[in-house]
């Protein structure tokens, strides 16, 4: 599997065949490549067999993300030897979570990579891969200062070298693994016992009631496994993993505790300031009104009409306004809906938001 890119020779610092050969033989941190010269152009053919685009790491669990980011420190050596345009599109990785750079060029004579610049690049990739609020491109463009004070990122932000960032990521990965082991021990005593009882029941039912066993094997056991997996991920702060584990279950199939961890996970994933998220999550608990838990689940799953109905049932104007704002934001980016219908709904939402906002104007002016 190859990946071609043609550029003007004049755009490169590399000037002749000797330089092109240096780029071709860049080393272990780069994708293997060949090149073909065509007049003023040069075409680089990159071998991506067995490699995945870095954007796919965003769909993997937190442990995999930590593994890749720990290995990312190895690109420091490559950065000092070759000029690299760091972006999520330029990085690939293999099954061992080793990153590889695609494009490369030589530095101009007398120039080389800067330690401080690589440190900021490393932090930007860590923040973009571990955070749901900002992507790598945004952090590379705006600077990592926007993550200063961000819950869960401060210790990385304060690192003064790439080696310190790597050490902090190793510490977090170890902590994640230890928490997972503790959780598994707890599950073996509680959740797994329940799962085993269901499995035993399924075996017994197989002999007496084939259809019943089929139901237990196909419906009950997978549901139990999903709930156990979600709890494991929630305990280690893997909120995306918690959400993914429960994606096949409807709120009606969940008990109150399962609803709580899913609602809290969705709330933490919203594009809000950390202080706002903290206030929301602090209010949520397994004892919360189930309609409020359902609200955050439906909102996170983009079932906005149901979320709005939950907010109305709770008589909570602030939750209702937030649901309206989220619907408007999603609607604005929807290019498939009919233009007139889209504008009509946008106008309705704007009117509803303004109407609810006016209810709080006197209170804010006091």
Q: Do residues 280 and 293 touch, judged by C-beta distance below 8 A?
A: no
Give the mean pLDDT of 343-347. Answer: 89
Domain segments of the chain: what residues? 4-183, 250-359
Give the mean pLDDT of 37-66. Answer: 93
pLDDT at residue number 332: 81
Which two tokens mark 331? 């609607």
Interior angle at CA 184, CA 182 and CA 189, nearest 5 = 100
What is 124-175 written as a DSSP string?
HHHHHHH-SS--HHHHHHH-GGGGTT-TTTHHHHT--SHHHHHHHHHHHHHH
Q: Would you identify the CATH topology of the domain 4-183?
A: Transferase(Phosphotransferase); domain 1 (1.10.510)
3-46 pLDDT per residue, tens: 899 999 999 999 999 999 999 999 899 999 999 999 999 999 99
Confidence band (pLDDT; 50, 70, 90) for 103? very high
Q: Do residues 94 and 50 touch, judged by C-beta distance below 8 A?
A: yes
Backbone angles phi, psi at 46, to 5 degrees: -100, 140
Query: Is it the case that residue 232 has pLDDT exceeding 70?
Result: yes
pLDDT at residue number 217: 47
More confident residue, 212 or 324: 324
How many other CB atoms are there within 10 angstroms of residue 3's CB atom? 15
* Long-range pairs for 104-109: beta carbons < 8 A, 24 or more residues apart: 104/23, 104/26, 104/30, 104/78, 105/12, 105/13, 105/14, 105/23, 106/12, 106/13, 106/14, 106/19, 106/22, 106/23, 106/82, 107/13, 107/82, 107/83, 108/13
Confidence band (pLDDT; 50, 70, 90) for 210? very low
Give the mean pLDDT of 106-124. Answer: 93
Confidence band (pLDDT; 50, 70, 90) for 340? confident
Q: Would you identify the CATH topology of the domain 250-359?
A: 1.25.40
Query: Is it the case that residue 190 has pLDDT exceeding 90?
Result: no
Percentage with pLDDT > 70 across the chain = 85
Query: Is it the case that residue 262 has pLDDT exceeding 90?
Result: yes
Query: Is it the case that residue 274 has pLDDT exceeding 70?
Result: no
Give the mean pLDDT of 210-227. Answer: 59
Query: Is it the case that residue 269 has pLDDT exceeding 60?
Result: yes
CATH topology agreement for domains 4-183 and 250-359: no
pLDDT at residue number 221: 59
> What rounded mean pLDDT belongs to the chain?
84
Query: Is it the case that residue 337 has pLDDT exceeding 50?
Result: yes
Least confident of 105-114, 266-275, 312-321: 266-275
Q: Do residues 106 and 13 touch, judged by C-beta distance below 8 A?
A: yes
284-299 pLDDT per residue, tens: 888 889 999 999 999 9
pLDDT at residue number 225: 86
Map tokens 């780029």 to a residue: 23
134-189 pLDDT per residue, tens: 889 989 988 888 887 777 788 899 999 999 999 999 999 998 888 777 655 554 45
Tell me, what DSSP letter sits at residue 216? I
Query: Is it the case that residue 316 has pLDDT exceeding 50?
Result: yes
Beta strands in 147-259 (DSSP E): none
pLDDT at residue number 287: 86
pLDDT at residue number 206: 52
pLDDT at residue number 166: 96
pLDDT at residue number 331: 84
Q: Do residues 115 and 165 touch, judged by C-beta distance below 8 A?
A: no
Length of the chain: 366
pLDDT at residue number 188: 46
pLDDT at residue number 283: 83
């Amino acid at each position: 599997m190859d990946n071609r890119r043609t550029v003007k020779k004049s755009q490169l610092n590399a000037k002749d065949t000797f330089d092109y050969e240096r780029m071709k033989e860049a080393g272990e941190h780069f994708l293997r490549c060949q090149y073909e010269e065509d007049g003023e152009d040069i075409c680089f053919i990159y071998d991506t067999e067995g490699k995945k685009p870095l954007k796919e790491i965003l769909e993997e669990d937190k442990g995999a993300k930590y593994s890749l980011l720990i290995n990312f420190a190895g690109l420091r050596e490559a950065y000092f030897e070759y000029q690299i345009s760091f972006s999520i599109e330029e990085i690939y990785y293999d099954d061992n979570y080793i990153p590889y750079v695609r494009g490369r060029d030589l530095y101009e004579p007398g120039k080389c990579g800067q330690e401080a610049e690589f440190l900021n690049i490393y932090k930007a990739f860590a923040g973009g891969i571990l955070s749901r609020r900002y992507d790598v491109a945004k952090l590379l463009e705006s600077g990592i200062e926007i993550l200063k004070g961000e819950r869960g990122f401060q210790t990385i932000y304060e690192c003064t070298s790439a080696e310190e960032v790597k050490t902090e990521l190793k510490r977090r990965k170890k902590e994640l693994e230890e928490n997972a082991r503790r959780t598994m021990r707890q599950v073996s005593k509680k959740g797994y016992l329940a799962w085993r009882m269901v499995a035993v029941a399924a075996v017994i039912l197989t002999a007496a009631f084939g259809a019943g066993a089929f139901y237990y094997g196909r419906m009950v056991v997978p549901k139990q496994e999903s709930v156990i997996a979600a709890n494991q991920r929630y305990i280690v702060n893997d909120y995306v993993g918690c959400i993914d584990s429960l994606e096949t279950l409807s709120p009606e199939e969940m008990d109150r505790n399962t609803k709580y961890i899913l609602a809290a996970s969705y709330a933490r994933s919203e594009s809000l300031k950390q202080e706002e998220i903290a206030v929301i999550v602090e209010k949520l608990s397994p004892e919360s009104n189930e309609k409020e838990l359902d609200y955050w689940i439906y909102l996170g799953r983009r079932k906005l009409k149901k979320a709005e109905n939950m907010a109305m049932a709770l008589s909570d104007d602030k939750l209702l306004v937030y649901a309206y704002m989220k619907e408007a934001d999603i609607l604005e980016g929807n290019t498939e809906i009919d233009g007139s219908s889209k504008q009509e709904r946008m106008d309705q939402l704007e009117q509803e938001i303004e109407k609810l906002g006016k209810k709080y104007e006197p209170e804010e002016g006091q």
